[in-house]
Amino acid sequence: MPRQLRPASFEAAAAALSGAAAGGEAVRIVGGGSKLRWGAAAAPPDVELRTERLDRILEHNQGDLTAVLEAGVPLARAQAQFASAGQMLALDPFLGPDHEATVGGVLATADSGPLRHRYGAARDLVLGMTVALSDGTVAHSGGKVIKNVAGYDLGKLFTGSLGTLGMILSVSVRLHPLPSRTATVVGDSAEPGTVARAAGRLAAEPLELEALDVAWSAGRGGVLARCAGSASEQRARRIAELMRGHGLDGVQIVTDDAELWARQRAGQRSDRGAMVRVASRPSALPRVLEAVQAADATAVGRAATGHTFVAVSPAALGTLLGHLPEGAVPVLLDAPDELRAAVDPWGPPGDRGAYELMRRVKQRFDPARACNPGVFVGGI
Amino acid sequence: MESGAELVDRLSGICGADHVLTHPHALATYRSDALAHYRQEPLAVVLPGSAAEVREVVRLCFEARVPWVARGSGTGLSGGALPVADGVLIVLSRLRRILSVDLEDGRVVVEPGVTNLSISRVVAPTHFYPPDPSSQIVCSIGGNIAENSGGAHCFKYGFTTNYVTGLEVVLSDGSVAQLDRDAPGYDLLGAFVGSEGTLGVATRIEVRVVPRPESVRTLVAFFEHTAQAGEAVSAIVAAGIVPGAIEMMDRLSIKAAEEATGVGYRLDAGAALVVELDGPAEECEARFEEVIALVEREHAIEVRVAADDTERELIWKARKAAFAAMGRIAPAYYVQDGVIPRTRLSEVLQRIDELSAEYGLQVANVFHAGDGNLHPLVCYDAARDGEPARAEELAGLIVKTCVDAGGSITGEHGVGVDKKAYMPSMFAEPDLEAFQRLRCAFDPHGLANPGKVMPTPRLCGEVPGPYREHPLERAGVATRF
C-alpha cells in the first residue's frame, strides 16, 4: 500500500511532494479517485498525495463570473454553489458514481462533457493555476480575470498532464450564466451515416446550441441538440424541422431534458469493458460510427468537435480500431486490468518533434521524475 | 562564432540577397513595432519566402548562436517584435498563402503572414474567425498566435488560443514540431499561443472558424457618467446576457472620436456604451429588448438602436476611431492594457481620474467593458520638458491600480519589452522561475526573442540528474493497443 499524505495547505502539499521526491519516491496525486486508472499501467506509487483537505472554495466572484477553487473541491459541490447564484462552471464530465470527481482531478485529466460543444474544453475555462513542483516550488500563473496575457499559460500545460508535471493546488476559472430554460431536440436513425451527417449539418448552422451530441447503441443512433435561453422552445421547433429534413426519425422536443444529458455523460465511462475516446475530424463521424457498429459497441460524442467515447468489449477492441478512419486518434480511458497490462492506452507518440518537447517539459518541471512516472504518453 | 558579414552572406544564400536587408535605411523601417518609442536596429532583416527557409534561417542562427526575433505585420503594442541588437529579425510577411479552407470541418490552414481579416473573408459569408483585434485588416495571424490576440468580440467568443487547432513550429535549434490540439500529451499548443515569440516561430497555422451568427443587433447608449455606464454593464451581465461585444468610451474619447468621424455621438455625454448582441434571431431579439430596458433603467440619457448595417457601421466607426483620433487631443499618448475584475470598474476609474488630476495629464478611457480590459490613453506632449517621463510614470501607476484591484498588467497587448518591468507586480520569483522552466524546455539557449516578457535576463541551467528512461521509450515505439 502506498503511503497516504493529506496536506491541508499549499506549503504542506509542496513539502510533502518535495520530501517524497528527494527520497526517490514515486508520487501519485489523488483527488476523488474516479479516474485513477487512466493512463498507462505503471509500477504502484510509493506515496499517494491526496487533495481531500484542500477543499475550500476560495472565491466566488458572482459579479465577475469567476471563482477560485482548491484542487480537492468536489466539482459537484462547486456547481451547487454556483447554481445558487444562477451560474455554472461550463465543464460537465461524468463525475463518478458518488459525484466524487474533484476540480483538480477533472483538470488533470482534461475531462469534459457535452458542454464542450459551446464552452470549449477544460483548458478553455481555466484563468489561472497554482501548482506545486517536485522541488517544493509553489508557482502561480495566469490570474483571476477573464482576459489576461501576462506570462506563460502554465494552466494549459498542467491541464491534461495527468499529474506528471506537479500537483495542481488551486485553479481560477471563468463561470457562465446558468441558462434560464433549456429544450433538447432528439431524432434517430438506424443508419450511422444519417445520424452523423444530420449532426454535421446542424453543426454548420448558426444555431448557437448549448450542446450537440450523438449517441449510438444496439444498431440505432440519435442526435441530441440542446437549446438554452429564454427562446429555447421556439428555437427547438425550428431545429426539429431541420432534423426531419435531414432524414432523422422520431423527432421530438424534450423540455425536461436533464436525464437525457446525464445519460450522455454516463456514456463516457465504462465499469467493466473498455472505453476509448476517439478524436477525429467532425466530417469523419460517419465512419467513426460505422466502426462503432462494426465492433458492436455503444458510443456518445460531440458531433461538432469530433470527440467520440466508445464503450467496447475488450474482445472487440481490435475490430473497432481496425475500422476507425485514417487520422482518427484513439486513447484508451477505462479498461480491465489484463487489457491495461497488455497495451499502451495512448498509442504510439505522434509527431516526433512534439514528443521530444514533451520529454523536455517533463525534465524541466519534474527532473526528479517523482510525479506519476510512466503513466503518460510514450512512458513520460 | 562567425562575423556579422559571414552571417549575412549565409542568410543571402538561404533567402536570396534581395530578401536580406542590412542598409541602415532599410533597417530603420523595422526598428520598431507599433510601439514606436522603442527602437533598435538589428544586424540584419531577413524575409524568408517559405517555411523551409524559415527553418534554415533559424538553424543558421542556432549554429552561430545569434538571437533572432520573429515579426509579422509589426502592429504589436508592447514592443514584442522589437529587434535585438546584433540579432536577426525574421519578417514573415512573404508567407501569406492560405493553404486550405475546409468549411465542412470549419478549419482553415494558413501561413503566418496571412492577415487576420483575410481568414474571415475567405470563409464568408457562412463562417467567420472570431478573434478580431482592432488592427485586423493588417495584423498577421502569426502575430496573433504570439500575442494570443483578443478583440472587441472576445468576451463572448474567446481569444486566439480558443481557435488555434494546430501549429507547425520551428524551435530555436531549427527543429520542427507539429502541435496538434487533439494529439495526446501535454497541451504544448496552449503553452505556445501567447508566448510572445519566445518559444519558437509558427510556420503553419490551423484555426477553427465558426458559423456567422444569424442575427446581430447593436445599440449605443449615452450616460452622464462612466459609473452609470458601468452599472448598466453589470446589470446586463447579471441578467445572464453575454453580449457579442460591449465597449465603453469616456467623455474625452467620445470627443476625440466624434471630432474625427462626425458620426453623431453626443458630446454632452460622459460615457458611451456600445452593446452588440448576436446569435439566433429569436434569442437575439428577446435579449436585445432586455438590454434596452436595462440601460434605460440605469439612467441612459439616450439609446440609439442601429436600424440597419449602415447605422451599425456608424456606431462602430466612432469606437474603432478612438485610438487614432486621440491625436486631436494630444500629440502623443501611452496606451495601457490593464485588466480589472469588472465589478471594480467605478473605483478604478475614479482612481485614474485622481491620478490624472495629480499629474496634470489628460487620460482618455476606451475599454472592453465586458471583460474589464481597460485601455487608458495617457496623453502628453513630448515637446514639453519632462512630460513623457511623467506620462510614463502615470501609466505605470494605472497598471499598478489594476493589479491591486485583482487584475492583470495586460489583457491583450502582451508584455513584450513595454510591461516586463511590471511582471513582478503580478508574479513572484517562484512563478517567474516556473515560466523559465517552460522557456528552457523550448529554447535552452535563449535565442528566440530574448529580453522580452521576463523582467530580468535569465539563463537555463542544465537539467539536474540523468533522465530515467521508461522501458516504453527505450523500445522506441510503444505498442498500439
| One-letter amino acid for residue B353 of the chain | D
pLDDT number for residue B466 = 46
Lowest mean pLDDT among A186-190, B105-109, B370-374: B370-374
Residues forming CATH 3.30.70.2740 domain(s) in chain B: 330-441
Percent above pLDDT 70 for chain A = 100
pLDDT number for residue B472 = 45
Start-to-end C-alpha separation, chain A: 23
What is d(CA A112, CA A90) in angstroms, rounded to the nearest whole number?
9
- Chain A: residue whose CA lies nearest to B433: A139
For residue A317, the domain's CATH number is: 3.30.70.240
Which positions ≥6 away from A336 have C-beta within 8 Å? A272, A273, A274, A314
Surface of A (191-210) touching B: CB under 8 A: 200, 203-208
Contact B126, B211 (CB under 8 A): yes
Give B319 or B59, the one with higher predicted confidence: B59
A355 touches chain B (CB under 8 A): yes
B456 touches chain A (CB under 8 A): no
Average pLDDT value over all residues in chain B: 93
Residues forming CATH 3.30.70.2190 domain(s) in chain B: 214-325
- Chain A residues inside the 8 Å CB shell of B213: 206, 208
Q: A13 with A110, same domain? A: yes
pLDDT number for residue B323 = 82
What is d(CA B375, CA B365) in angstroms, rounded to the nearest whole number?
6
Residue that terminates a domain, selected from A241, A265, A289 = A265
Q: How confident is the model at residue B327 (pLDDT cuts 50, 70, 90)?
A: confident
Q: A96 with A4, same domain? A: yes
Sheet holding B271-279, edge to edge: B302-305, B215-223, B271-279, B245-250, B363-368, B373-380, B332-335
Q: A11 with A41, same domain? A: yes
- Chain A residues inside the 8 Å CB shell of B340: 145
Q: A214 with A90, same domain? A: no
Whether B106 sits inside 8 A of A282 (CB atoms) is: yes
pLDDT number for residue A151 = 97
Q: A189 with A95, same domain? A: no
* C-alpha cell read off for B429: 520569483
Contact B323, B261 (CB under 8 A): no
Q: What is the DSSP string of A82-139?
A: HHHTTEE-S------TTS--BHHHHHHTT---TTHHHH--HHHHEEEEEEE-TTS-EE
**Beta pairing, strands A307-312 & A298-302:** antiparallel
Pick B427's closest partner by Cβ from A151, A179, A304: A151
pLDDT average, residue stretch B101-112: 97
* Torsion angles phi and psi, residue B103, rounded to 5: -75, -25
Pick A63's closest partner by Cβ from B194, B212, B343: B343
Q: What is the pLDDT of residues B128-138, one digit of tens each?
A: 999 999 889 99
Place of cell 510601439: B35
What is d(CA B318, CA B306) in angstroms, rounded to the nearest whole number?
14
pLDDT average, residue stretch B190-194: 98
Contact B205, B141 (CB under 8 A): yes
Q: How confident is the model at residue B462 (pLDDT cuts 50, 70, 90)?
A: confident
Helix (H) or strand (E) segment spanning residue A68: strand A66-70
Residue that terminates a domain, selected from A265, A294, A312 = A265
Burial class (CB in 10 A: 0-12, 13-18, 19+), A192: buried
Q: What is the DSSP string of A141-188?
A: EE-SSS----S--HHHHHTTSTTSS-EEEEEEEE-EEPPS-EEEEEEE
What is d(CA B42, CA B25) in angstroms, rounded to the nearest whole number?
12
Contact B241, B145 (CB under 8 A): no
Burial class (CB in 10 A: 0-12, 13-18, 19+), B480: exposed
B465 touches chain A (CB under 8 A): yes
Contact B67, B1 (CB under 8 A): no
Strand partners, A48: A4, A28
- In CATH, the architecture of B330-441 is 2-Layer Sandwich (3.30)
Which positions ≥6 away from A276 have C-beta within 8 Å? A309, A310, A312, A317, A320, A321, A330, A331, A332, A333
A85 touches chain B (CB under 8 A): no
Q: A6 with A141, same domain? A: yes
Whether A206 sits inside 8 A of B191 (CB atoms) is: no
Contact A379, B471 (CB under 8 A): yes
Q: A218 with A306, same domain? A: no
Whether A235 sits inside 8 A of B283 (CB atoms) is: yes
Q: What is the pLDDT of residues A280-308, one digit of tens each?
A: 999 999 999 999 999 999 999 999 999 99
Burial class (CB in 10 A: 0-12, 13-18, 19+), B329: middle
Q: Is the pLDDT of residue A150 over 70?
A: yes
- DSSP single-letter state for residue A344: B
Q: A150 with A66, same domain? A: yes
- DSSP single-letter state for residue B198: S
The CA distance from B4 to the nearest CA of chain A, in Å, is: 30
Q: How confident is the model at residue B329 (pLDDT cuts 50, 70, 90)?
A: confident
The CA distance from B24 to the nearest CA of chain A, in Å, is: 34
Torsion of CA B248, B254, B259, B260, to 10 degrees: -20
Residue that terminates a domain, selected from A265, A295, A312 = A265
Its CATH class, for the domain covering B214-325, is alpha beta
The CA distance from B215 to the nearest CA of chain A, in Å, is: 9
Whether B414 sits inside 8 A of A86 (CB atoms) is: no
Mutate to test the interface with B, among A82, A148, A227, A371 (most CBs of B within 10 A): A148
A86 touches chain B (CB under 8 A): yes
Q: How confident is the model at residue A27 (pLDDT cuts 50, 70, 90)?
A: very high
- Chain A residues inside the 8 Å CB shell of B161: 124, 153, 156
Contact B430, A166 (CB under 8 A): no
Q: Is the pLDDT of residue B239 over 70?
A: yes
Whether A150 sits inside 8 A of B148 (CB atoms) is: no
Whether B191 sits inside 8 A of A157 (CB atoms) is: yes
**Beta pairing, strands B44-46 & A3-5:** unpaired
For chain A, give percent helix, strand, coil, nearest 5.
Answer: 35, 25, 40
- Chain B: residue whose CA lies nearest to A175: B240
Domain count, chain A: 3
What is d(CA B417, CA B395) in angstroms, rounded to the nearest whole number?
15
What is d(CA A288, CA B265) in angstroms, rounded to the nearest whole number?
55
B11 touches chain A (CB under 8 A): no
Lowest mean pLDDT among B64-68, B98-102, B322-326, B345-349: B322-326
* C-alpha cell read off for B275: 452593446
What is d(CA B442, CA A365) in angstroms, rounded to the nearest whole number?
12
pLDDT number for residue A319 = 98
* C-alpha cell read off for B71: 515579426
Q: What is the pLDDT of residues B360-417, one digit of tens each?
A: 999 999 989 999 999 999 999 999 999 999 999 999 999 999 999 999 999 999 999 9
Q: How confident is the model at residue B152 (pLDDT cuts 50, 70, 90)?
A: confident
pLDDT number for residue B74 = 95
Strand partners, A67: A60, A173
pLDDT number for residue A136 = 98
Lowest mean pLDDT among A233-237, A238-242, B134-138: B134-138
Contact B414, B196 (CB under 8 A): yes
Greatest Cα pair distance, chain A, in angstroms, is 65
Q: A148 with A94, same domain? A: yes
B348 touches chain A (CB under 8 A): no
- Chain A: residue whose CA lies nearest to B239: A177
pLDDT number for residue B467 = 47
What is d(CA B136, CA B118) in angstroms, rounded to the nearest whole number?
9
Q: A293 with A219, same domain? A: no
pLDDT average, residue stretch B325-341: 90
B130 touches chain A (CB under 8 A): no
Q: What is the pLDDT of residues B198-207, one digit of tens each?
A: 999 999 999 9
Helix (H) or strand (E) segment spanning residue B246: strand B245-250
Report how many helices (DSSP H) and strands (DSSP E) chain B contains, helices first. Answer: 16, 18
pTM attached to this predicted model:
0.96
Q: A272 with A259, same domain? A: no
Helix (H) or strand (E) segment spanning residue A222: strand A220-228
The topology (CATH level 3) of B4-91 is: 3.30.43
Pick A344's closest partner by Cβ from B154, B280, B472: B472
What is d(CA B251, CA B271) in angstroms, rounded to the nearest whole number?
6
Q: Is the pLDDT of residue A335 over 60?
A: yes
Q: Is the peptide bond before B125 cis (omega within 30 degrees of 0)?
A: yes
Burial class (CB in 10 A: 0-12, 13-18, 19+), A266: middle
- Chain B residues inside the 8 Å CB shell of A165: 186
Residues forming CATH 3.30.43.10 domain(s) in chain B: 4-91
pLDDT number for residue B464 = 56
B461 touches chain A (CB under 8 A): no
pLDDT number for residue B2 = 61
* C-alpha cell read off for A76: 459537484
- Chain A residues inside the 8 Å CB shell of B430: 137-139
pLDDT average, residue stretch B242-252: 95
Q: What is the DSSP string of B248-298?
A: EEEHHHHHHHHHHH-S---TT-SEEEEEEEEESHHHHHHHHHHHHHHHHHT
For residue A38, the domain's CATH number is: 3.30.465.10
Q: How confident is the model at residue B477 (pLDDT cuts 50, 70, 90)?
A: very low
pLDDT number for residue B479 = 35
What is d(CA A29, CA B207) in angstroms, rounded to the nearest whole number?
34
Tell me the angle at which helices B309-325 and B251-261 cross, rounded to the nearest 10 degrees: 110
Whether A351 sits inside 8 A of B433 (CB atoms) is: no
Q: Is B434 helix (H, G, I), strand (E, B) or coil?
A: helix
* Residue B84 to residues B52, B69, B210, B481, Cα–Cα distance (Å): 23, 7, 38, 49
Q: Is the pLDDT of residue B480 over 60?
A: no
- DSSP single-letter state for residue B419: S
Whether A120 sits inside 8 A of B184 (CB atoms) is: no
pLDDT average, residue stretch A149-173: 98
- Chain B residues inside the 8 Å CB shell of A359: 467, 473
Percent above pLDDT 70 for chain B = 96
What value of ipTM does the predicted structure carry?
Answer: 0.97
Q: What is the CATH number of domain B98-211?
A: 3.30.465.10
Q: Is the pLDDT of residue B481 over 90?
A: no
What is d(CA A253, CA B237) in angstroms, rounded to the nearest whole number?
29
A234 touches chain B (CB under 8 A): yes
Determine the structural domain holding residue A111 and report its residue range: 1-178+349-380
Task: Enumerate long-range contacts of A93-101, CB under 8 Å, 24 or more apart.
Answer: A93/A265, A93/A268, A94/A265, A94/A266, A94/A268, A94/A269, A95/A32, A95/A34, A96/A32, A96/A34, A97/A34, A99/A74, A99/A75, A100/A32, A100/A33, A100/A34, A100/A74, A101/A31, A101/A32, A101/A34, A101/A35, A101/A74, A101/A75, A101/A76
Q: A189 with A230, same domain? A: yes
The CA distance from B264 to the nearest CA of chain A, in Å, is: 31
* Residue A232 to residues A115, A188, B214, B278, Cα–Cα distance (Å): 16, 21, 15, 15
Residues in chain A: 380
Contact A201, B206 (CB under 8 A): no
Contact A159, A105 (CB under 8 A): no
Q: What angle do CA B315, B321, B322 make, to 5 degrees?
A: 100
Distance, CA of B464 to chain centre: 36
The CA distance from B211 to the nearest CA of chain A, in Å, is: 5
